[in-house]
Amino acid sequence: MTNDTLSQDPRRAEDSNPGFRDWIWMFTEIFGYRELLWQMLLRDIRLRYKQAVMGFFWALFIPVMVIVSGSVLKYVMATISGQPLNTEAFTNMAVKAMGWSLFLGILNNGANSLLGNINLITKIYFPRETILIAGMCVQMFDTFIGSTVLFVLLASIGAICWTLNLLWVPVLTLLLISLALAIGLFLSCAMVFYRDIKYLLSVFTSFGIFFTPVFFEVNQIGGTLGTVMMLNPAAPLLEGLRLVITRGHDLLTPLNDAAGNMCWHPAFLLYAALFAIFGLIFAWRFFHLKEKLYAEYI
């Protein structure tokens, strides 16, 4: 029996017609391989922290680097403009840096998941989505550690607005995870057939932060450019996290700053939610349909 034969699902031939039953199969198949998913998760966590000098401090490394680099940028801009820095600017940046690190971590892990597990994919069959889900869970584990530290720090300096609007945080986080997983699914599939995708991903991970409101707020740009910036589906989710955590704002209510520039509109949230949900559905379906070709092309 060849590797290609082993890498295909023997039960897939029973029903080749796409439709509702295929969606049910996609869910039940992952549930059936839950033990494999758990073992992959444990493996990835061990590999990440095994013999690591910094240990769990690696979970704080990327958010801290984003905050430090953003602080340098803000300091330079404040020095040039002659305006003083304030604690709120650093608090806003810290919240969005944590969300950005979660998004970027899931996207990177997902995009490189298939090429990083060639030996498994070419030898045995299992739902390939489990590799991406395991990587997603590892990144969520890291983000949980970092978010706990950040939460304690912000609470100690009184930077958190304790309102019921904090209930938006898990909703926004789930949408951010869905968006990152959707892009990761699509890119991981594309990278199997077009290897130069990894170079484009490298460019995005290096410069994407400058097209996303992490170092700044959208209202600071204002006008048409600020609205265009919110077309990035990750932007409304990061801005939403900032508003509900540091300002206690209800995301169903529009918000303008003192100069009349729009800070927030519920349409931003609707746009990001639709992009994340339908993007995940489309990407998962696309990934699933191309699954039988991975062992051949990888």
What pLDDT tens digit does each residue of the chain (298 aa) get?
Answer: 444 444 444 444 444 555 677 778 888 888 888 888 888 888 887 777 775 555 567 667 777 777 777 777 777 777 776 666 677 778 888 899 889 989 998 998 888 887 877 777 777 788 888 888 888 888 888 888 888 888 888 888 888 999 999 999 999 999 999 999 999 999 888 888 887 788 888 888 888 888 888 888 887 776 677 778 888 999 999 999 999 999 999 999 998 877 777 888 899 999 999 999 999 999 998 888 887 777 666 6
CA distance 288 to 12: 11
Tell me the two tokens of residue 239: 């801005």
- 230 neighbors 218 (Cβ within 8 angstroms): yes
Return the pLDDT at 6.
44
pTM recorded for the entire structure:
0.84
C-alpha torsion 240→99→34→116, nearest 10: 140
Closest by alpha carbon to 215, among 243, 235, 240? 235
| Residue listed under structure tokens 């340098």 | 72
Number of Cβ within a 10 Å radius of residue 258:
6
Tell me the two tokens of residue 50: 């095994």
Return the pLDDT at 51.
58
Q: Largest Cα–Cα distance of the chain, in whole Å? A: 72
Tell me the two tokens of residue 16: 């080749």
Tally of domains in the chain: 1
Tell me the two tokens of residue 240: 């939403």
Q: Which residues form the domain of 258? A: 3-297
Straight-line distance from the first to the last Cα atom of the chain, in angstroms, rounded to the nearest whole number: 19
CA distance 133 to 170: 18
* E strand or H helix at 221: helix 218-221
Q: Calculate the alpha carbon distances from 185 to 145, 181, 280 in Å.
A: 25, 6, 8
- 126 neighbors 36 (Cβ within 8 angstroms): yes
Q: Which residues of 148-167 are buried (b: 16+ CB within 10 A; e: fewer)?
A: ebbeeebeeeebbeeeebee
CA distance 62 to 66: 6
